[in-house]
């Protein structure tokens, strides 16, 4: 059968599959002849939606180009369009199809958490929320959470200490002394008054600042009438602190609105979506997103690219995320099916505002300005980043046809005189360091300080399952360059490992440090017969290599220090005669960690079950 006949046969099979599709919600996936995923989509009615792709006239040349490549398709039926939305975006994030606009899958947003204890604690939280505690947010960044926590400490004096520390306090901590905590741990505030402060803090976070001020004023007057002037003065100080906070909140608005402001800008083949979050009427900051695969859409469907980007963002960002009741955006979007699916998921009506007024219009203008600045910065950096990648590809004799696909993995070993040996692997891809793909390896079973054995172990562990004998295509994915932080000795070890695993040794490049370990004097060492190269300080390729090498060193040494410090802290208690595992655990639980044990007095140590006064004195002396 000729290639044309195979294509015709494949197309007929696809059409037969389309004819048999049910009128049910679900997800469809298109594949080309090489079985590469082209596109993932969702539908309220699979048959109606998929049939539109195989009409004689298509709305977009981009869609026509994609449909011409379809060799087979798969479908999954779901119970609702909301389920189809979730499945679609899980597949997009996991499989990254070529014709979908892709947003990076960020970690979950942070929240401010207020626990449901007798004396509730506020804390920074990231993860799944539950109904046991109160969660406020999400916030666009950890900085926004910490700023809000600082406000609550100044105004409402809420505690933020760990429960194990709180339960074992016998005297107020430093935060109380600097007027950041009311010290409920030692009873310097009544449980009723502390819970009222917690309620006021929660109302403040919900945007009810005026109500909080009125409540505090009534409380202050009540204390004054009872001649409890000291308590009245404390409430007066709270009101003063809250007033200052409200004056500093230049981006404050009335009410307790939760709003997301979404600004979309498309220029130079790239797009920026700037998301600003308003929670409880307070502007918490913004975050810029840069989707990929936008260039193909823009090249053929320029008039609708901004709307496509916005629709992709709404679908991918808000799946299984908090959705406020109001979304303000600069792009008019006609996507009733998408909004219906999001509404079904979140359980409340979502209002899209395209022409906001007053304060929301100001917020949108600010978000647009931020988006333009962020995109301009990205395009500027992208040009220089691509130039550096091209210089690297030229020096290392790599294929320069697809610079974006060039992948570099770099390894480094770190230890302290043989103690706590760790290896790092960092990744450079798409012209940038890919932090989410970094890996650390704990090295064991070697002679302490043997860097060659450590390098052998980490390379074997990293690439053993990626050898040419692996069964699946995914297992055979290899970087284009394997950078080794070291000279001929380290490179020889890498060559031996690659030879044993049947891998291409030409991928290995050693970075030997120059005189005085100064950047610019490094020498590149190869194992495939190429002569060593000294590129010089002016080389853009060497600057990129040095950046990747330094990042591997930083990542290795921070991991090593954490591992070493943890081992040393544990051993400090282990080395004290009479402190076995059970007593050590009781001490750490009582005082919230080794630092708490070290700060405790002899009497406090002796109050722990199983710790005699003599042993407490020994512990106190050894940890000083």
What does the alpha-carbon distance between residue 146 and residue 187 come to, in Å, rounded to a whole number? Answer: 26
From the number of C-beta atoms within 10 Å of its C-beta (0-12, 13-18, 19+), residue 319 rates as buried
What does the alpha-carbon distance between residue 454 and residue 308 come to, in Å, rounded to a whole number? Answer: 49
Are residues 49 and 12 part of one domain? yes
471: domain CATH number?
3.30.420.340
- Which residues are within 8 A (CB) of 239 and not within 5 positions of it... i.e. 6 or more apart? 213, 216, 217, 220
In 309-418 the beta strands, taken as DSSP E runs, fall at 326-329, 351-353, 408-416
**C-alpha torsion sign, points 245, 251, 255, 256:** negative
- Which residues are within 8 A (CB) of 377 and not within 5 positions of it... i.e. 6 or more apart? none
The encoded tokens of residue 402 equal 């697809």
Question: Looking at residue 468, what is its pLDDT?
Answer: 45
* φ, ψ for residue 276, nearest 5 deg: -110, 135
Could you write out the three-class secondary structure of 239-252? Answer: HHHHHHHHHHCCCE
Higher pLDDT, 424 or 591: 424
Note the pLDDT tens digit of each residue in 1-29.
565 666 666 677 888 888 888 899 899 99
Q: Which of 52, 68, 95 is the last residue of a domain?
A: 95
Mean predicted confidence (pLDDT) in 511-532: 78
The encoded tokens of residue 533 equal 């190269």
In 232-366 the beta strands, taken as DSSP E runs, fall at 259-267, 270-279, 282-289, 326-329, 351-353
List the strands of the sheet with 259-267, edge to edge: 282-289, 270-279, 259-267, 326-329, 351-353
pLDDT at 568 > cutoff 60 = no
The encoded tokens of residue 355 equal 């022409």
Are residues 612 and 477 part of one domain? no
Question: Is 572 inside any structural domain?
Answer: no
Q: Mean pLDDT lowest for which of 56-60, 227-231, 543-547, 604-608?
A: 56-60
Q: Which of 228, 248, 268 is the last residue of a domain?
A: 248
SS3 20: coil
Quote the DSSP letter at residue 471: S
Are residues 462 and 547 part of one domain? yes
Are residues 421 and 516 part of one domain? yes
Are residues 286 and 334 part of one domain? yes
Are residues 437 and 300 part of one domain? no
Among residues 12, 44, 10, which one has the least CA distance to residue 28?
44
Owning domain of residue 618: 581-622
Higher pLDDT, 469 or 496: 496
Note the pLDDT tens digit of each residue in 555-564.
888 876 766 6
Are residues 213 and 144 part of one domain? yes
The encoded tokens of residue 138 equal 């999400």
Q: Are 411 and 484 in contact (CB under 8 A)?
A: yes
Question: Is 391 inside any structural domain?
Answer: no
Are residues 435 and 360 part of one domain? no
The count of domains in the chain is 5
Q: Which of 37, 61, 95 is the last residue of a domain?
A: 95
The encoded tokens of residue 423 equal 């290896």
What are the counts of helices (DSSP H) followed by strands (DSSP E) for the chain?
21, 18
Question: Is 392 inside any structural domain?
Answer: no
594: domain CATH number?
1.10.150.20
**C-alpha torsion sign, points 61, 13, 81, 36:** negative
Higher pLDDT, 560 or 424: 424
Question: Is 390 inside any structural domain?
Answer: no
What does the alpha-carbon distance between residue 415 and residue 422 come to, in Å, rounded to a whole number? Answer: 6
Question: Is 268 inside any structural domain?
Answer: yes
Q: How confident is the model at residue 411 (pLDDT cuts 50, 70, 90)?
A: very high
- Which residues are within 8 A (CB) of 343 and not within 5 positions of it... i.e. 6 or more apart? 349, 350
What does the alpha-carbon distance between residue 587 and residue 578 come to, in Å, rounded to a whole number? Answer: 13
Percent of the chain with pLDDT over 70: 85
Are residues 173 and 91 part of one domain? no
Are residues 146 and 89 part of one domain? no
This prediction has a pTM of: 0.57
Are residues 368 and 227 part of one domain? no
From the number of C-beta atoms within 10 Å of its C-beta (0-12, 13-18, 19+), residue 327 rates as buried
Mean pLDDT value across the chain: 81
Question: Is 602 inside any structural domain?
Answer: yes
Are residues 263 and 231 part of one domain? no
Question: Is 429 inside any structural domain?
Answer: yes
Question: Is 220 inside any structural domain?
Answer: yes
Note the pLDDT tens digit of each residue in 302-350.
446 888 889 889 988 887 777 888 999 999 888 888 888 888 888 788 8
């Amino acid at each position: 059968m000729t290639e044309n006949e195979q294509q015709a046969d494949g197309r007929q099979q696809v059409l037969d599959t389309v004819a048999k599709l049910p009128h049910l919600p679900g997800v469809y996936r298109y594949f080309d002849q090489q079985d590469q995923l082209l596109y993932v989509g969702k539908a309220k009615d699979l048959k109606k939606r998929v049939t539109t792709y195989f009409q004689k006239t298509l709305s977009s040349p981009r869609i026509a180009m994609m449909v011409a490549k379809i060799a087979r398709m798969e479908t999954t039926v779901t119970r609702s369009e909301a389920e189809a939305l979730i499945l679609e975006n899980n597949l997009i994030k996991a499989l990254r199809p070529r014709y979908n606009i892709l947003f990076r899958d960020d970690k979950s947003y942070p929240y401010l958490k207020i626990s449901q204890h007798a004396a509730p604690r506020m804390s920074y939280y990231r993860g799944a929320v539950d109904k046991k505690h109160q969660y406020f947010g999400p916030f666009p960044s950890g900085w926004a959470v910490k700023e809000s926590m600082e406000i609550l400490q100044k105004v409402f004096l809420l505690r933020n200490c760990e429960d194990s520390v709180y339960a074992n306090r016998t005297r107020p901590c430093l935060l109380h002394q600097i007027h950041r905590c009311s010290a409920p741990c030692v009873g310097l505030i009544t449980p009723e008054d502390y819970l009222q402060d917690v309620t006021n803090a929660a109302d403040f976070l919900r945007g009810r600042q005026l109500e909080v001020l009125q409540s505090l004023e009534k409380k202050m007057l009540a204390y004054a009438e009872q001649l409890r002037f000291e308590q009245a003065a404390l409430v007066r100080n709270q009101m003063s602190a809250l007033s200052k906070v409200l004056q500093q909140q230049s981006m404050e608005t009335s009410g307790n609105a939760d709003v997301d402001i979404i600004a979309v800008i498309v220029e130079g083949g790239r797009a920026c979506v700037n998301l600003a979050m308003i929670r409880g009427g307070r502007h918490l900051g913004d975050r810029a997103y840069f989707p990929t695969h936008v260039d193909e859409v823009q090249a053929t469907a320029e008039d609708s690219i901004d709307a496509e980007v916005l629709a992709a963002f709404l679908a991918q960002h808000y799946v299984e995320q908090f959705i406020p009741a109001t979304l303000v955006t600069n792009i008019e979007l006609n996507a009733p099916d998408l909004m219906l699916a999001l509404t079904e998921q979140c359980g409340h009506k979502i209002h899209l505002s395209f022409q906001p007024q007053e304060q929301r219009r100001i917020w949108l203008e600010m978000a647009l300005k931020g988006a333009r600045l962020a995109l301009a910065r990205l395009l500027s950096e992208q040009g220089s980043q691509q130039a550096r990648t091209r210089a690297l590809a030229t020096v290392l004799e790599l294929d320069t046809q697809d610079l974006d696909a060039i992948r570099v993995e770099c390894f480094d070993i770190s230890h302290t005189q043989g103690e706590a040996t760790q290896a790092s692997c960092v990744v450079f891809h798409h012209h940038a360091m890919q932090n989410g793909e970094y890996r650390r390896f704990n090295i064991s079973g070697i002679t302490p300080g043997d860097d060659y054995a450590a390098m052998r172990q980490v390379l074997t562990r990293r690439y053993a399952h990626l050898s040419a004998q692996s069964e699946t295509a995914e297992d055979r994915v290899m970087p284009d360059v394997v950078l080794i932080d070291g000279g001929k000795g380290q490179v020889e070890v890498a060559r031996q490992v690659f030879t044993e695993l049947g891998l291409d040794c030409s991928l290995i490049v050693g970075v030997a440090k120059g005189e005085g370990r100064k950047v610019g004097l490094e020498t590149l060492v190869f194992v495939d017969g190429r002569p060593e190269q000294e590129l010089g300080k002016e080389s853009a390729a060497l600057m990129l290599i040095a950046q990747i090498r330094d990042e591997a060193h930083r990542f290795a040494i921070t991991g090593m220090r954490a591992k070493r410090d943890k081992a040393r802290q544990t051993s400090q208690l282990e080395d004290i005669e009479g402190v076995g595992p059970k007593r050590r655990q009781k001490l750490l639980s009582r005082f919230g960690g080794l630092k708490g044990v070290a700060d405790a007095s002899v009497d406090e140590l002796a109050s722990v079950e199983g710790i005699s006064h003599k042993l407490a004195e020994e512990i106190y002396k050894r940890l000083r």
